[in-house]
Structure 1
Amino acid sequence: MKPPEPGTVPVPLDGMRVLQVVATTTGGTGAHVGMLVDHLLARGGDVIVCGPQSVDAQFHFRTRGAGFVPAQIGLQPHPRDIATLRRLRRLAVLADVVHAHSLRAAALAGLVTPRQVPFVVTRHNAIISTGVGRRVQLGLQRHTARRADVTLCVSSDLVDAVRRAGGTDVRRAFVTAPTMPAPGRSRDAVRDELGARERPLVLAIGRLHGQKDYPTLIAAASRLADMDPAPLVVIAGDGPERAALTALIARTAAPVRLLGERSDIADLLHAADVQVLASVWEGTPLSVQEGLSAGLPFVGTRVGSIPDIVADAGLLVPPHDVRALAVQLRRVLTDTRL
């Protein structure tokens, strides 16, 4: 059994046992699984999520009404994968559909899911690593592309990559951001908190990870320091690059603040003058959709699905291009015709 093509009558879900398998995530993948859980439960599905305890703590699958079975599925192979495979096997044999998210989760789930159980994989990220890590991930991509009954991809370049790897039923998935709540504080109150009452405020949202290429954004922010008043760039999010980025900001005296994890994204979007994204690759980032819905100007890189999402509602530049990013940010902040 395969998921219906767009435009066909949905498969009834009453009593359907759906196993969602997710690896370590703190961003859009977890949010997407949460939306799927809500949708499946609303249509009568019986949903179990299997993944790291930290993912449930952030995305509240049990609170939403799903079952949750903890299993350590990290980003790298680990001896504990043996125990994870045993746990996944016990769950998969009872499922009507198994849906795995990310290469690692798909590789493990694919090994133990019975062939008679439909196996769906959603690819949320491209392979951007180098060296040995890249070769390993390309191997996982070939394995999961050929093992999956259906592969859903969040960008057209991922669709092409999975098809080249041997996928036979590969479809584009469109992930839509949920409705953003109304701001809880005034624009001035948020800007006062950030120290930007009289300064242009540039907002970036996302995990502090190499994929986001914050060093390029920090370098671009330094090029805007001659403006009067100088813009303040704030980054909402946390992650493994925090220490390195903190040191870089201090060393370059760039007008950038790391805000850490924030629960008031609606307030930040309401307070900002422009949203920026310097990523080397993106699927369908929910934060960009939220910013555009809030009417915020956008400057970002021409990668992944960003051109499809933004269309003519923003200014796009090549990745890793400090000068181009600074020029377009300056343009948005100074050109009243935009």
Structure 2
Amino acid sequence: MRVVETLSASTGGIGRHVADLAPRLAALGHDVTVLCPPSTAAAHDLAGLDVGPPRRLARLRGVDVVHAHGYKAAAAALPWTRLRRIPLVVSWHNAVLADGAAGRVGRALQVLVARGADLTLGASTDLVAAARAAGARHAALGPVAAPRLAAPTVPRERSRAALGLAPGTVLVVTVGRLAPQKNLGLVLDVAARLAARTDLTFVLAGGGPLQATLAARAAREGTRVRLLGPVDDVASLLAAADLMLLTSSWEARALVAQEALLAGLPLVSTRVGGIEELVGDAAVLVPGGDAAAAAAAVVALADDPARRAALAAAGLRRAATWPDEDEVAQDLSATYGRLVDRRAGGHSTKGRPPT
């Protein structure tokens, strides 16, 4: 089949997902084209693939199926796929969280692409429910592969020494883009509540628009929260840590949560979006925005090495149940084939699952 994977600007998880998926679809015998902005192409390894800008879609011929990742990419592809009667698969990776005009535009795009797509795949069950509420012909939970986790390049004790940690210090790490969705002020709230615990150190790794604001607040309050900025060697940082704290207001399948479990690192996370269905009972989950509950969970784990070890083992078992990149590619390849067969046979997919 001639398959087009299209996405808008993404230097993070969505781009990585497509970069992992496309070559595997090609290895299964499909003719794959990836359409994305130059910034996305530059941020991911797409070597050996047919890559071009999204506007190139109108010039392509012989396309059997288009898979759009995200609302913007789907909205751009929808008119052309309707005109050419080409099956359109749309993956919803994120919720619309914005208020005001941005939120209204985002929700309008949701309705547009839900009603126009032959199949909507949600990265979490709440996204599937949102797609159905928006009028999706058919919506299902979409396969997303667990990330590959590189081996640490720096030994644990050397990393901890570089951070200036005293022996016996419990290192709590948070990794992510410093943006509103991550609700990283909650990390500082937790650290403030635990200011008397001199054996706890908090580290925030990542860059983003809130970096200066968070750094200024940490300095003003004098909490033991260190902002490291962007970190290339996340695996070594996770190996140096004793537990991870995830404070997001919403996540589908949080990349950092998956990395924590894959690294055998105990996780404390807000119970939001698709987190619970991702980690099951292999993490400690607290209500979103609840600093008291998060602080209590951090203290309980900090004071109980045996519980941390048990959670680490449970996390590794849970991670072993997640599909890998090859399984995801095979699943989507079969889904594409069913959609193409139904379209060729003149049968509508409305009301009937194509997966």
Q: TM-score normalized by structure 2?
A: 0.81
| Matched positions, count | 305
Question: Does 1:211 find its partner at 2:181?
Answer: yes
Please tell me the residue identity of whatever aligns with 1:112: W
- Superposition RMSD on alpha carbons, in Å? 1.7
Question: Does 1:110 find its partner at 2:93?
Answer: no
Q: Distance in 2 between matches of 1:36 and 1:336?
A: 38
Counterpart residue number, 1:39: 24
Which portions of structure 1, spanning 4 or more consecutive aligned residues, are displaced by more than 3 angstroms? none
Q: Distance in 2 between matches of 1:111 and 1:236?
A: 41
CA shift for structure 1 position 197: 4.4
SS at match of 2:289: coil
Q: Distance in 1 between matches of 2:23 and 2:173?
A: 29
Alignment of 1:263-278 (within 5 A): 263-278=232-247
Deviations 1:18-47 (A, max 9, x none): 211111222211111112113212212222
SS at match of 2:226: strand
Q: Distance in 2 between matches of 1:227 and 1:312?
A: 27
Distance 1:111 1:246, change over 3 A: farther
Counterpart residue number, 1:97: 65
Moved more, 259-268 or 136-145: 259-268
> Contact 2:70–2:94 at 8 Å: present in 1 too?
yes
Counterpart residue number, 2:225: 256
Distance 1:41 1:259, change over 3 A: farther
CA shift for structure 1 position 223: 1.7
CA shift for structure 1 position 94: 4.2
Q: Distance in 2 between matches of 1:193 and 1:159?
A: 44
CA shift for structure 1 position 162: 0.3
Where does structure 1 lack aligned partners over 5 or more consecutive residues?
Answer: 1-15, 72-83
CA shift for structure 1 position 241: 2.1
SS at match of 2:165: coil
Deviations 1:202-257 (A, max 9, x none): 1112111111110111211222221132x222222222222222222222222222
Counterpart residue number, 1:330: 299
Question: Does 1:314 find its partner at 2:308?
Answer: no
- Of 163, 168, 173 in structure 2, the residue corresponding to residue 194 of structure 1 is 163
Where does structure 2 lack aligned partners over 5 or more consecutive residues?
Answer: 308-355
CA shift for structure 1 position 181: 2.4
> Contact 1:174–1:284 at 8 Å: present in 2 too?
no
> Contact 1:219–1:254 at 8 Å: present in 2 too?
no
CA shift for structure 1 position 89: 1.8
Deviations 1:74-101 (A, max 9, x none): xxxxxxxxxx4xx33224x442211111
Question: Does 1:27 find its partner at 2:16?
Answer: no
Please tell me the residue identity of whatever aligns with 2:72: R
Please tell me the residue identity of whatever aligns with 1:104: K
Question: Does 1:228 find its partner at 2:198?
Answer: yes
SS at match of 2:261: helix
Please tell me the residue identity of whatever aligns with 1:212: K
Q: TM-score normalized by structure 1?
A: 0.85
Q: Distance in 1 between matches of 2:95 and 2:16?
A: 18
Moved more, 103-112 or 143-152: 103-112
Q: Distance in 1 between matches of 2:10 and 2:213?
A: 20
Q: Distance in 2 between matches of 1:50 and 1:139?
A: 23
Deviations 1:180-217 (A, max 9, x none): 22221210111122222432111112111111110111
Q: Distance in 2 between matches of 1:23 and 1:240?
A: 20
Please tell me the residue identity of whatever aligns with 2:53: P
- Of 38, 47, 70 in structure 1, the residue corresponding to residue 53 of structure 2 is 70
Please state which structure has a larger fraction of its residues in helix: 2
Question: Does 1:245 find its partner at 2:214?
Answer: yes
Identity level (%): 43
Higher relative contact order (CA 8 A, sep 6+): 2
Q: Distance in 2 between matches of 1:269 and 1:165?
A: 39
Please tell me the residue identity of whatever aligns with 1:96: D
